[in-house]
Amino acid sequence: MTSKTAITLDQDLDTLRDDLDSGRLCPTSESTVAPPGEVSTGSPGELARNCLTLGSMRSVPASATGLATVMRTGKTALPLDWPDLWNLYAAESNDELLDMLAKQVTRMSKVACFEDERAQYRAIHLALNRRLVTPPRLRIPIRGRKPDGKSFTTAEQALTIDKQVIDLDWLHCSGKRDAIPEKDLGSLFSSDAHIDWNMAEQLAQKPWRSDTKVIESLRLSDAEQFPLAILQSSKIRMRWTDLQKQQAKVETTLKNRADRYPTLSSAIPSLVAVWKADRMAADASLKTKAKLHQWIVGSTTPMASEQFREQLRKVRRHLEH
């Protein structure tokens, strides 16, 4: 089944990674602490859902102990950290979650209010990670804002850190359990229940270049990097960028071929996705390419390797004609 929400790659992700690499965006620990209040009783999921419905959010310090948030409902202040949010939208489908994300992006495009959206932003992405249908790289992005193009706000820094933690959570949901050689971060993925949220935030806050985090610290393979939004090496990032530049030409070529072969018309979106998966994972196995194709089209299951091979032959035949 294909997702009903259109997912497109966005240049803003690459801009954000470039800012990380250049040192223009270095997370700080300075932010405003929300005033204390009574903490409600009840399960974290119930409290989180109630506060998301009734309250507004303010940031508390970004530190090694966690980038928590506070939702206020009247006299009640509830800290909402990653462990409180991962199961908040357990009942929603992948399509419903993508619709929620699209509406959030629309709100964010009109008003710069990431602080007010942050808890829901985290909760939606953590729920999508657990569906393993639409990876972070193929979700509609919330665009960061730089005042006058000069410096990043605290909210922009928080967004960047959250995106990295979401990437790390996707890796864990995908089955990654190997130890990390980085000092004090070795057991980041070791628990079967979830990543170590504090370690994930520690790593996200380190002002390292992307290649340093991805290759030297996390030692991610190309296949592990394909679905990630921020934690990608410069090589993988350039592949995504090149695909964006070439996609229009590929689509036009296939549409021109469909004039001669009308039955091709309905297959163009899937064939473009096959072309993307093949070019993106050029050195990978057919199984990996089929998995990437599954993510691109938003399907719940991948093509069989032989079926992908046949579709690849078909798209190559039309593009090389």
Domain boundaries of the chain, sorted by first residue = 11-27+87-232, 235-320
Residue 137 scores a pLDDT above 90: yes
Residue 168 scores a pLDDT above 80: yes
Q: Which of 31-35, 58-62, 145-149, 220-224 has the highest mean pLDDT?
A: 220-224
Torsion of CA 92, 98, 102, 103, to 10 degrees: -10
Q: What pLDDT was estimated at residue 80?
A: 62
Task: Tell me the pLDDT band of 148, cut-offs 50, 70 and 90.
Answer: low
Looking up tokens 């970004």 gives 62
- The enclosing H or E element of 58 equals strand 56-59
Looking up tokens 């979650």 gives 97
Q: What is the DSSP letter of 302?
A: P
Q: How far apart are CA 91 and CA 315, in angstroms?
A: 38
Sheet of 76-80, strands arranged across? 56-59, 69-73, 76-80
Mean pLDDT in residue range 183-201: 94
Integer angstrom CA distances of residue 14 from 19, 143, 221, 232: 9, 11, 19, 10
Q: What is the DSSP letter of 141?
A: P
Q: Phi and psi of 58, rounded to 5°?
A: -135, 150
Task: Tell me the pLDDT band of 321, cut-offs 50, 70 and 90.
Answer: confident
Which SS3 state, helix, strand or coil, does residue 121 take? helix
Integer angstrom CA distances of residue 192 from 74, 123, 169, 184, 219: 37, 20, 12, 19, 20
> Quick one: which of 123, 29, 33 has its CA closest to 80?
123
Task: Tell me the pLDDT band of 289, cut-offs 50, 70 and 90.
Answer: very high
Task: Tell me the pLDDT band of 21, cut-offs 50, 70 and 90.
Answer: low
Q: Which two tokens stand for residue 126?
A: 């953590």
Q: Which two tokens stand for residue 183?
A: 């000092």
**SS3 letters for 71-84?**
EEECCEEEEECHHH
- Burial (Cβ within 10 Å: 0-12, 13-18, ≥19) of residue 299: middle
Q: What is the pTM of this model?
A: 0.76
Tell me the per-residue pLDDT of 209-268, one tens digit each, with 9 for 90 and over: 999 999 999 999 999 999 999 999 999 999 999 999 999 999 999 999 999 999 999 999
Q: Which residue has the higher pLDDT, 198 or 59?
A: 198
Contact 230, 164 (CB under 8 A): yes
Alpha helices by DSSP H, listed for the chain, are 11-22, 44-54, 82-85, 94-110, 114-131, 154-173, 197-205, 210-211, 222-225, 234-260, 268-280, 286-297, 305-320
76 beta partners: 38, 73
Q: How far apart are CA 308 and CA 303, in angstroms?
A: 6
71 beta partners: 57, 78
Q: At what angle do helices 197-205 and 154-173 cross, to 10 degrees?
A: 130
